[in-house]
Amino acid sequence: MTQAPLPKAHVRCQLNGQPVEFLADQHMSLLEVLREVLDLTGTKEGCNDGNCGACTVSMDGRIVDSCLVLAPEVDGRTIETIEGMAPPGGLHPLQRSFLEEAALQCGICTPGFLISAKALLEREPDADEHRIRHWLAGNLCRCTGYDKIVRAVLRAETAMAPKAAAGRTRRKKSA
């Protein structure tokens, strides 16, 4: 017996600063919507089950794995993806420091790391290495061995620090 297909969910949200409206199957994930409905393929799929963080986006200011968010849950929310990270014609300091430190190889994990690291630096601009590693534990990288990524985040902290602090060696919190 075939059943009538379920109606699509009609979703309105803020996406990278713009109002967006879309239709999606009710069981679709936010990741699928981004990549397949909205053609925003910067957000990557690694595991599709919450383990790798490649699909990390920001939802109402908190990072989430978009593969574990359903499309209809996004209604009324504010979403930021990697496509919204760089200012027009430039790069975000984290994007620049990832390039400078060669913190990527295949690049599949990179958008997720960038979104996660940005969320950390917005909360804790002085996060030390230990804190960075802890915060990024939900993002996996098969290529770099993580050291370069951590160095890139530390470098971005220095680049983003207010001018007053720039001259002297910045003290890192110890816990």
Partner 1 sequence: MHPFRYVAAGSIDEAVAVLREHGARARPLAGGTDILAQLRAGRFELDALVDVKGVPEASALRLGRDGLDIGAAVPCYRIYEDPDVSAAYPGIVDAASLIGGIQIQSRATIGGNLCNAAPSADSIGPLIVHAAAVTLAGPAGTRTVPVDSFCTAPGRTVLGEDELAVSIHVPRPPARFGAAYERFIPRNEMDIAVVGVACAVVLDRSGERIESARIALASVGPTPIVAAKAAASLVGGPPSADAFRAAGEVAADEASPIDDMRGTIGHRRDLVRVLTRRTLERAVQRASGGTASGNTGRGTR
Ligand X SMILES: Cc1cc2nc3c(=O)[nH]c(=O)nc-3n(C[C@H](O)[C@H](O)[C@H](O)COP(=O)(O)OP(=O)(O)OC[C@H]3O[C@@H](n4cnc5c(N)ncnc54)[C@H](O)[C@@H]3O)c2cc1C
Name the residues that contact partner 1, by CB under 8 A: 5-6, 9, 25-27, 29, 48-51, 53, 56, 59, 62-65, 67-70, 72-73, 116, 119, 130-131, 134-135, 137-139, 175
Q: Kindly tell me which of 103 and 120 has the beta carbon lying closer to partner 1.
A: 120
Q: Is 145 in the site for ligand X (CB under 6 A)?
A: no
Q: Smaller CB distance to ligand FES: residue 44 or 92? A: 44
Phi-psi region of 39 (alpha: psi -120 to 50; beta: other; left: phi over 0): left
Picking from 127, 112, 139, 115, the residue whose alpha carbon sits closest to that of residue 170 is 127
Smallest distance from partner 1 to CB 56, Å: 6
- Residues of span 34-63 touching ligand X by CB under 6 A: 50-51
Shortest CB 50 distance to ligand X, Å: 3
**Binding positions for ligand FES, 135-174, rule CB under 6 A:** 141-144
Angle of CA points 78, 149, 170, to nearest 5°: 90
Spatial CA neighbour of 55 closest among 4, 101, 110: 110
Stretch that binds ligand FES, among 3-11, 51-59, 73-81, 119-127 (CB under 6 A): 51-59
> Using an 8 Å Cβ cutoff, are 61 and 78 in contact?
yes
Cα separation values, 99 from 129, 136, 142, 152, Å: 19, 18, 17, 8
Q: How far apart are CB 163 and partner 1 at their closest, in Å?
A: 29
Q: How far is the CB of 48 from ligand X (least distance, A)?
A: 11
* Rounded Cα distance, 78 and 131, in Å: 26
Q: 120, 53 in Cβ contact below 8 A?
A: no
Q: Least separation, in Å, of the C-beta of 140 and ligand FES? A: 7
